[in-house]
Amino acid sequence: MGGGGFNRTCLKCRNSIEVDQDGRVVAHDRPVSRFPCHASGQLAALVSVEWGPGPRRSQRIAGGGKGPRRDRRKRTEYLKPPEWLPNYQGERLPTIGLPAKGWFSVWFPAHTMWEHERKLSGWVGSDRSLRWDGHEKCWTVSSAHFPRVSRELLRRYPSVLIGREYNPRERCNSSCQNAQGFLCTCSCRAKYHGRGKWRSGWRTLGEFSGLRAGRPWHWMAVSVAD
C-alpha cells in the first residue's frame, strides 16, 4: 500500500519500497544487480526502514520506538558464517563446500552479502553461474568454477577450508585414481583422486571429518605451497 504520502527506503539496498496490506515489504531489485533484495517479502516489522518526508529519522519498527535509544549510525553488516560451516582451530576460514551433486557453497569473512556477490560474479565471469541459497544462507557457484574460486581465495587469504561430501561405502579404485578433474565422492575423501593432481600447488595444514545435514563430509585446511 502507498503509505499516505510517506516514502519508505530499504536500509539494505537504499531503494524506495512499498509495504503491502499484510505488512510485508514488496519485492524489489537491488541497484546494479539482477538479484532481488533479500528484504523482499519479509515482514516490515523485522526490517529497518527509513521514513520521510521531514527530518530524516530511522527506526526499527520491531522495537516500536520503545526501550533504550539505538545507535543510528549505519553499521556494516557482514555476511554471517552459515550454520553448516565448521571452525578450524577456533577460526572461521574462507570456506568452499563441494556437495556430491549440484553447486558448491562459498563464504569468506569480513564481507557483506553484496560484496560476496560482486567478487564471486567477477571471478566466475557471469551472474548465471552464481545464486543465493536462502536455505544454506550463502552464495553458491556452478561446480565448474571450483578451480577459479579456490585459486582466487588462496590469493587473498593465507589459508582456506575445503570441504566435500563423500560416501564411505564407495570404494576407491582405478577410476578414481586415474580420474581427471576434482569431483570425487569415494571413500578415499579425494586423497587419491587423480593421484592428487587436483590440489597441485597446495599445502595441507590439517584435515577432519564430520556430518553436514546428516551426511558425511571431509574438510581440509590448505594454503599455497612454499
**For residue range 17-54, what is the model confidence (pLDDT) as tens digits?**
888 877 778 887 776 565 677 777 777 766 655 555 54
Spatial separation of the C-alpha atoms in residues 134 and 148, rounded to whole Å: 24
Residue written as cell 516490515?
44
128: left (phi over 0), alpha (psi -120 to 50) or beta: alpha
State the chain's mean pLDDT as an integer.
Answer: 83
Helices and strands, number each (H, E), in the chain? 3, 11
Label residue 108 by pLDDT band (50, 70, 90): very high
pTM of the entire structure?
Answer: 0.69
